[in-house]
Amino acid sequence: MDAPAPNIDGCLETALYVADLSRAARFYEAVLGLSAMFADQRLVAFDCGPRSVLLLFARGTTEETIRLPGGEIPPHEGFGRLHFALAIRGEDLPLWERRLAEAGAPVEGRMDWPRGGKSLYFRDPDGNLVELATPGVWRNY
């Protein structure tokens, strides 16, 4: 490959695989205030900001090819306690700490990053590690 790769414009979707789709959806709606853009018995798709979607799949429902009128989606699945991060504004960090405490979602960890960003870590009902991160975590954020 001699030519450079075409540009990537961002990470569009993050997928989690959950034991109880209704329970997980309620958590993400109630605790994080996310709104569902699509929901069926197999998945819930949440709006996570500009060009960013969190997909919750009912565990075991993605292990076979999905055929839709527009084409096919190959099988996929994830196991174990996964991790993902959501971007938040720095000035909102104390508000998130309070909201998590009120929701009974204990903060398991905190991080002050060398570039000035801060992160809070907590778990969803399936044990996935959710990170709320302020600008300054990465060179591009």
104 Ramachandran zone, left/alpha/beta (phi>0; psi -120 to 50): left
Separation CA 44–CA 35 (nearest Å): 10
Q: Is the pLDDT of residue 59 over 90?
A: yes
Domain boundaries, the chain: 13-60+81-133
- The pLDDT of residue 6: 87
The pLDDT confidence band at residue 37, using thresholds 50, 70 and 90, is very high
CATH topology for 13-60+81-133?
A: 2,3-Dihydroxybiphenyl 1,2-Dioxygenase; domain 1 (3.10.180)
CA–CA dist 141, 134 (Å, integer): 8
pLDDT bin (cut points 50, 70, 90) of residue 2 is confident
